[in-house]
């Protein structure tokens, strides 16, 4: 959840978490600009070490053609916000904990 959500903010839900294999995922439900009842699911995968974007996807029409839509641009801009940076850092720490656990299994 975004605590500092402003009314015109199109992002209805935002999660930052780590997945094995893909890295840190920023996943969001973003409202359509033209149809207010329509929600698109946008997702950005970030390399946990370099913090570079490795994968982007969106459920909207542009995303279906692998074109970058405004939703993905909004998410990209969020990556540099302090709030999201902190969430990414938390996800990275969880990642390191998971990798330590895996290492201890062997």
Both structure tokens of 82: 């302090």
Q: Which stretch binds Zn ion (CB under 5 A): 1-9, 67-75, 87-95, 96-104?
A: 67-75
Identity of the residue, 71 or 87, whose beta carbon is nearer to Zn ion in the bound complex: 71
**Cβ 7 to Zn ion shortest distance, Å:** 21
CA distance 5 to 25: 20
Asked whether position 88 contacts Zn ion by CB under 5 A, the answer is: no
Answer yes or no whether residue 60 interacts with Zn ion by CB under 5 A: yes
Residue with Cβ nearer Zn ion (60 or 88): 60
Neighbour order of strands in the sheet with 39-46 = 11-19, 23-31, 39-46, 53-58
Cα 22 from Cα 55, distance rounded (Å):
9
Secondary structure element (H or E) that encloses residue 61, with its range: helix 61-64
Q: Minimum Å distance from CB 73 to Zn ion?
A: 9
Per CB under 5 A, residues contacting Zn ion are 58, 60, 63, 69, 71
């Amino acid at each position: 959840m975004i605590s500092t959500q402003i009314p015109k903010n199109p992002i209805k839900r935002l999660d930052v978490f780590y997945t094995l294999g893909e890295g840190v995922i920023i996943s969001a439900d973003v409202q359509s600009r033209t149809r207010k009842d329509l929600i698109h699911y946008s997702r950005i995968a970030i390399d946990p070490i370099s913090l570079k974007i490795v994968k982007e996807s969106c459920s909207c029409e542009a995303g279906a053609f692998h074109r970058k839509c405004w939703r993905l641009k909004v998410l990209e801009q969020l990556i540099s916000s302090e709030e999201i940076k902190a969430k990414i850092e938390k996800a990275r720490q969880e990642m390191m904990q998971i990798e330590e656990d895996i290492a201890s299994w062997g």
